[in-house]
Amino acid sequence: MVDTPGFDDTERSDIEVLQEIANWTTATYKKNILLSGIIYLHPITDTCIDGSAMRNLRMFENLCGQEALENVLLTTTQWSNIDPAEGQAREDNLRDGGLWGGLLSRGASLQRFNGTRESGLELIQKLMSNTRKPLHIQNQIVRQHMALPQTDAGKFLDEGLTAREERFKQELESLEKQSREALKAKDAEANRILMVEQETAREKLETAGAERRLLERLDAADVERAGPSWPQLGCFRTASGRSTC
């Protein structure tokens, strides 16, 4: 059993997280070790599904691929922290709405984790009898000899970084325009505030650009040399660093 790092980590970039997952899945696949199942954790206490949750789910799909979806448990957690009726309504929305509906229709299963040892063992037991299947990213890197940026997960991450870089570029241009207008109006205080905001936007732009260039430089050899770097403990989790087993 393994517990992966989560995306949207405050200390590591998504590229670092994706590379760690690729490292482990590549190394294990070459040893003919396949997963019986994947547990995707989602706190039922979340009041809304934001853009980050949607990106994590799409990344999860790109990592697993269609063939492995039958071995996926979409698991809701933190039921002790919510009114049962409200929790049921949210679970129904996850099942029938746009978030999980597509995955469930293609073979994934919905399961609750009630916070007890027995509930955790039930999840594990449900997966143990599965036919073990390779993940999509394993096939792409090992069998198709793709570099990480060429995989579907890598392409999805690159699209996000490119969009984020463009967004920060537009934000910086807007702030620079406002600053010029503040100078014309001789509004020193407004210009000072705008200069601080410009510096923040510039740093974000540089970070997004650096991450995108780093992803472009990664190749299959980088993944193979790195090898696995996290312990085989807990459950397989590829999204939402807030979730716990």
By mean pLDDT, which of 6-20, 68-82, 182-196 is the weakest?
6-20
The per-residue pLDDT for range 172-210, each reduced to its tens digit, is 999 999 999 988 988 999 989 999 999 999 998 998 888
DSSP state of 70: G
pLDDT at 50 over 80: no
Q: pLDDT band at 233, cuts 50/70/90? A: very low
Task: Return the domain boundaries, the chain.
Answer: 14-144, 152-217
CATH among 1.10.3470, 3.40.50, 3.30.1330, 3.30.1120 for 14-144 = 3.40.50
DSSP state of 142: I
- Quick one: pLDDT at residue 10? 72
Burial-class residue 164 by CB neighbours within 10 Å (0-12, 13-18, 19+): middle
The per-residue pLDDT for range 124-177, each reduced to its tens digit, is 999 998 999 999 999 999 999 999 999 999 999 999 999 989 999 999 999 999
By mean pLDDT, which of 40-49, 87-96, 110-119, 195-204 is the weakest?
40-49
Burial-class residue 185 by CB neighbours within 10 Å (0-12, 13-18, 19+): exposed
- Quick one: pLDDT at residue 223? 53
Q: pLDDT band at 219, cuts 50/70/90? A: low
Supply the pTM of this predicted model.
0.78
Mean pLDDT of 29-52: 88
Mean pLDDT of 97-102: 80
Query: Do 130 and 37 form a contact (C-beta atoms < 8 A)?
Result: yes
pLDDT at 17 over 60: yes
pLDDT at 31 over 80: yes
